[in-house]
Structure 1
Amino acid sequence: MEISNFIKQYIKNPKTVGAIAPSSEKLAYKMVEDINFFNASCIVEYGPGTGIFTEKILNKKKDETIFIAIEYNPDFYKILKDKFKGETNFILINDSAENLKEYLTKYNIDKVDYIVSGLPFASLPDAMSKKILSITKEILKDKGEFITFQYTLFKMKLFKMYFNKIKRKKVLLNLPPTYVLMCKNLNQNTK
């Protein structure tokens, strides 16, 4: 069911979906393994798709931690809304990550501890990628972390424009194999 949804959405929206299959359990584990769930007060997820990372975060976060997931695709949004209804401190938004600051203001959130991203930066328009990364850098706490995965390292130069410390892990057990990038916003003046 999830694979057929992904294929259908990829065919309809290849620039915003970016994958023909949902992420593997191994990738989901790698995406959340470095999050300090005990100390996190706010976690954001860009592009949760059908919710494999979302589920891992919801299972590990503290009840009082605010978790915001922002999904652009209306079909995926509906799946997520049904799948995770009734979750504590979980805010699901059907919009672009470009507009996240509006929602942080609405919910009186100043800064974010972690941003987990499933966005396909390799296929997003360059201006959109830059806007999302600029907002990401701005809203992360000083020791906050942006965690994303990419199928190639094609966009590393772009990520380095916003983050000066990037660790990467290769995940072979995913279709296709991918890289998890853990990006730190250590220098507020880096652009």
Structure 2
Amino acid sequence: MKKGSFIYQYLFNPRTVGAVRPSSGFLSNKMVEGIKYKDTKYIVEYGPGTGVFTEKILERRNKETLVVVIESNQAFYQVLKKKFNNVRNLIIIFGSAEHIEQYLKEYNIPYVDYIISGLPFASLPQNVSKEILSNTLKVLKTGGEFVTFQYTKVKIPFLRNYFPNITVNREFRNIPPAYILHCKL
């Protein structure tokens, strides 16, 4: 079993790796299909894992759009660095989404149009989830969108404390099936 595999990372880091395998192409497509790529300047991805959502974003984005991915798992960070080596307008950060404001300041990014999240809010400590979502609200532009997925609906009431307008879709072809949450202010 490789250190960079989802199953290995899930077994040894179950609080921060929420699945035993990467998301399916079906889920990946649904996560990024609502992005208005033509007019988008900045996209951030929280918890990209091995980069399945990142690939979809990079395929569809306007080439001038800056994409920032933030990964807290060292093994996945190394996978991302190798996989996306020399990709233009992509910043890969080893760190926590809690510090999104700091990262944006470092790179002179004034706001974010979309935040795509693969974070397992159901298993993250409550205080970490609160910090991430509070800081997300500070950097997301007016009219911006936070898109995440979860395997259950248990965290939707918690997310509504930050985003009163949440549209829920389902992707049954993912293993396990997932809820896609499009969150707006």
Into which bin does the TM-score normalised by the smaller protein fall?
A: over 0.9
Deviation at 1:164, TM superposition (A): 1.2
Structure 2 matches for 1:77-156, cutoff 5 A?
Answer: 77-156=77-156
Counterparts of 1:71 and 1:121 in 2: how far apart (Å)? 15
**Deviation digits for residues 10-36 of structure 1, max 9, x if unmatched?**
001000001011100000000000000
Q: Report the secondary structure of 1:38's partner residue.
A: helix
Give 1:73's aligned residue. 73
SS of residue paired to 2:38: coil
Cα displacement string for residues 81-103 of structure 1 (whole angstroms, at most 9, x for unaligned residues): 00001111100000010111111
TM-score (ref. length: structure 1): 0.94
Q: Distance in 2 between matches of 1:66 and 1:179?
A: 27
Q: Match for residue 189 of structure 1? A: none
Cα deviations by residue, 1:152-171 (Å, 9 ceiling, x for unpaired): 01001111000111001100
Gap runs ≥5 in structure 2: none
SS in 2 for 1:101: helix
Structure 2 counterparts to residues 155-174 of structure 1, below 5 A: 155-174=155-174
Counting matched residue pairs gives 184
Q: Given residue 166 of structure 1, which amino acid in structure 2 is its aligned partner?
A: I
* Structure 2 residue 45 is the aligned partner of structure 1 residue 30: no
Structure-2 separation of matches of 1:162 and 1:99: 17
Determine the C-alpha separation between the residues in 2 that align with 1:147 and 1:105. Answer: 22
- 1:62 deviation in Å? 1.2
RMSD of the alignment, in Å? 1.2
* Structure 1 residue ranges, 4+ long, deviating more than 3 angstroms after superposition: none
Structure 2 match to 1:188: none
Identical pairs, percent: 53
TM-score norm. by structure 2 comes to 0.97
